[in-house]
Amino acid sequence: MAKDPLAEAGIYFDELNKLRVLEPYVGQKTSELKEECKEFVDKIGQFQKIVGGLIELVDELAKEAETEKMKVSYRV
């Protein structure tokens, strides 16, 4: 089987018959990786929101604890 001279030169045709310098397999994997990265970034954003809420809650509890400690120290 003869090799494609364009492929040997690193030039390929995509599904729309446009010239590409990236192998179709590599292009597909790149697109998949891009989508996975987008999903990862979205999940990280959700995680940051959850952690932010947790930090706010812990800060509020710490303030309440300090207030209670001050009340107790004035009574003693």
Kindly report, residue by residue over 45-60, the tens digit of the pLDDT: 999 999 999 999 999 9
Beta-carbon contacts of 30 under 8 Å, excluding residues fewer than 6 positions away, are: 22
> What is the predicted pLDDT for the residue at 71?
86
Beta-carbon contacts of 22 under 8 Å, excluding residues fewer than 6 positions away, are: 12, 30
> What is the predicted pLDDT for the residue at 1?
53
pTM of the full predicted structure? 0.62
